[in-house]
Chain A
Amino acid sequence: MKQILSFTLNGEQVDLVVKPTETLLDVLRERLNFTGMKRGCDDGDCGTCTVLINGEPVRSCLTLALTAAGKDVVTIEGVAKDGKLHPIQKAFMDNGAVQCGFCTPAMVLVAKALLDKNPHPTRHDVVYYMSGNLCRCGCYDEIVDAVLAVANGKVKEA
């Protein structure tokens, strides 16, 4: 039986009617047309669907939409503010951390969650925190470099 789901998406209230088996990823991509987060596996393995719920990285493909009720969800669409790129986004572009780009939105979000908690991570900290997000193009080193560049204050505002 369908139920009403209310939650906050990138700072704005969203209300819609959902089926109990719909996932948060289904709601974001298919219902709200927020296609920044990707559907890479529906198994929780690849990480391309990872959003922030109350500041924590969560697999939206493994989140039953109704369980997100009342929570604060942030997707890639909520990272740049008023058209201005976040330093992490700029750092990814400047450090060769983007090839096909499919893993990128989730990588940016998880990096943001890390730096919001720990503004000065070591390389090991970054690798440990981000190892749940896969990249098949081979950008891992560049992604870590980009995150550390932001942590080390090396990224000028876009």
Chain B
Amino acid sequence: MAEYNYIGASLPRYDGEGRVTGKTVYVDDVIKPGMLYVKVFRSPVHKGVVKNIDASETLKVPGVAGIVTGKDVPGVNVGWFGDVPVFAETIRYQGQVVAGVVAVDEDTAAEGVAKLKVDIEEQTPVFDMFEAIKPGAPLVDPAAKSNYFEGWPKGNTFKMVLGDVEQGFKEADYIVEGDYSEGVQDHASMEPHASVAYLDEAGRLCVHTTSQCLAFQLRSLMAIFNRPLSKMRYIGGVVGGGFGGKNEIHTDHIAGVAALKFGKPIKYRETRREDLRFSTKRGAWVFHFKDGVTKDGRLVARYVEHWHDSGAYNTFSSYGIEKGSMFLSGPYWIPNILIEGHLVLTNKPVSSSMRGYTSSNGQYASEVQMTKIAQKLGMDPWELRFINAWRDGDLGASRYKVLGAGSIEAMKKTAELAGIKLPEHLMQLSSRRR
């Protein structure tokens, strides 16, 4: 057996010293001479149309350089996936950014924001998903037919099919149903969202970002700034916690637009309260589960209908439904599965990725279903899971073949660590074969 210098060795982190000494430069630590600061005007109403922005009093505040609005976006006034505008002209959620005030410091910019007069024609919002899908509900996207995302082959329903659930339910001795909901969560990364943007000596727009996905976002930013790649520098990689909350553009676009307009370095950062209230979240999700099981504890059918609250824009939540659907069988072999997913828009902040995006959503629901099934059958909950756990070669809900299944081994290890002695007939089982 060869000896390795690096493989298997515990090596010090190359950038650890910077972190423990405070030398590592996070985005908010970037300081440029003559740097100006942005504070934004956020819509006080949940839904409406911006009629007019009057900056006459704002511009009189000493130290205010000016404002930035949709009119100042050199390229397209949309962020990510052609969806969220940089500066809103129609409001879809309370807190949505309408304009920015650029000034010598944040106190001055905040004073400028307080003096901005923005006329918004207020409209009726809808907050609850199930209110939003009722016929006649106010439309979140004025150009759409309904508040459903309708872009799937079956329109507003994303379907995932394995086998035949109706047949499966006929074979079941027991049916167990349940309704579950998961609320909104915030990532609360220790580092709030921030950007610094400036033109460098070669005329490139440099943007310091906290983004978790530079390559994705750079394409959107080029379209916003109307700049080719050769005229951009996107500087990132030092992130004070992302957890999925830094997969959408929060501040880069506004900082860049301001840097281009004023020709000065710009810093735009969200306060913690803005971040908590208005930035992207793990969105709410509602599930209806219907499981069919035989009296000897085999799951023969599962039907799940699920609804994800997208907030005011889709961005990639429709992908969330698609990917999330395949995990709703849990790590269990179920020969007949039907998943029907819906994405619903509401007048709330945008739902996005967060820690285990789509793979953790619905898992607690699936596991509570398993517990209810075990109770109904009078069966040991460990045994129920051992019986139904995936083996290599089983099919998942999206018909992919399972390789390297491991939940049986994980359960055995868990029991050992918890001091629980599992019965011998369960200890004989393995993920390698049924």
A93 and B16 contacting across the interface, CB-CB below 8 Å: yes
**Is A77 touching B22 in the complex (CB atoms < 8 A)?**
yes
Interchain Cβ contacts within 8 Å, total number: 100
**Looking at A37, A45, A98, A102, which has the most chain B CB atoms within 10 Å of its CB?**
A102
Chain A hits for B188, CB < 8 A: 136
Q: Which of A21, A89, A108, A136 contacts B190 (CB 8 A)?
A: A136
Q: Which residues of B contact A41 (CB under 8 A)?
A: 192, 271-272
CA distance A35 to B18 in the complex (A): 12
B19 at the interface (CB under 8 A from A): yes
Q: Which residues of A (15-50) have their CB < 8 Å from a CB of B?
A: 19, 21, 29-30, 33, 35-43, 45-46, 48
Q: Which residues on the B side are within 8 Å of A85 (C-beta)?
A: 17, 20-21
What distance in Å separates the Cβ of B358 from its nearest Cβ neighbour in chain A? 21
With CB as the reference atom, state the residue of chain A lying closest to B192. A40
How would residues 12 to 46 of chain B score, 1 for a CB under 8 Å from any chain A CB and 0 otherwise? 11001111111111101101000000000000000
Q: Is B272 a contact partner of A75 (Cβ separation < 8 A)?
A: no
> In terms of DSSP, what is the predominant structure of the interface of chain A?
loop
B191 at the interface (CB under 8 A from A): yes
Interface size class of A (residues with CB under 8 A): 35 or more
Whose C-beta in chain A lies nearest to the C-beta of B29?
Answer: A35
Q: Give min CB distance, A88 to chain B, whole Å.
A: 8
Provide the bound-state CA to CA distance between A77 and B29, in Å.
14
Chain B hits for A46, CB < 8 A: 190, 272
Partner of A102, one of B107, B187, B191: B191
A65 within 8 A of B: no
Most B-side CB within 10 Å, residue of A21, A35, A101: A101
> In B270-293, which residues have CB < 8 Å from any A CB?
271-273
Q: Which residue on B lies nearest to A104, using beta carbons?
A: B19
Task: Judge whether A130 is part of the interface by a CB distance below 8 angstroms.
Answer: no
- Complex contacts, B191 vs chain A, CB 8 Å: 38, 40, 100, 102
Chain A residues with Cβ below 8 Å from B13 are 93, 98
Bound together, the chains give a CA A99 to CA B272 distance in angstroms of 20
Q: Which of B125-133, B148-156, B239-247, B369-377 contacts A (4 or more CB under 8 A)?
A: B239-247
Bound CA–CA A134/B23 (angstroms): 20
Q: Decide yes or no whether A135 CB sits under 8 A from chain B.
A: yes
The answer to whether A135 and B190 touch across the interface, beta carbons within 8 angstroms, is yes
Nearest A residue (CB) for B273 = A43
Known pairs A75-B22, A85-B20, A93-B17; A35 contacts B31 (CB<8 A): yes
Given the known A-B contacts A85-B20, A100-B190, A134-B190, are A35 and B107 also in contact in the complex, defined by CB atoms under 8 Å? no
**Within 8 Å of chain B (Cβ to Cβ): is A103?**
yes
Answer whether residue B407 sits at the interface, using C-beta atoms and an 8 A cutoff: no
In the complex, what distance in Å separates the CA atom of A45 from the CA atom of B385?
A: 42
Q: Does B294 sit within 8 A of A, measured CB to CB? A: no
A38→B26 contact, CB < 8 A: yes
The smallest C-beta distance from A86 to any residue of chain B, in angstroms, reads 9
CB-CB nearest in chain A for B21: A80
Q: Which of B12, B22, B105, B243 contacts A105 (CB 8 A)?
A: B22
Q: 5 pairs across A/B with beta carbons < 8 Å? A: A36-B22, A36-B23, A38-B26, A46-B190, A101-B18
**B: which residues have CB within 8 A of A?**
12-13, 16-26, 28-29, 31, 105, 107, 187-192, 239-241, 243, 271-273
Given A39-B192, A46-B272, A100-B191, 6 other A-B residues pairs in contact with their CB atoms under 8 A:
A29-B28, A43-B273, A46-B190, A101-B24, A102-B191, A137-B241
3 closest pairs, A vs B, by CB? Answer: A36-B22, A101-B19, A102-B240
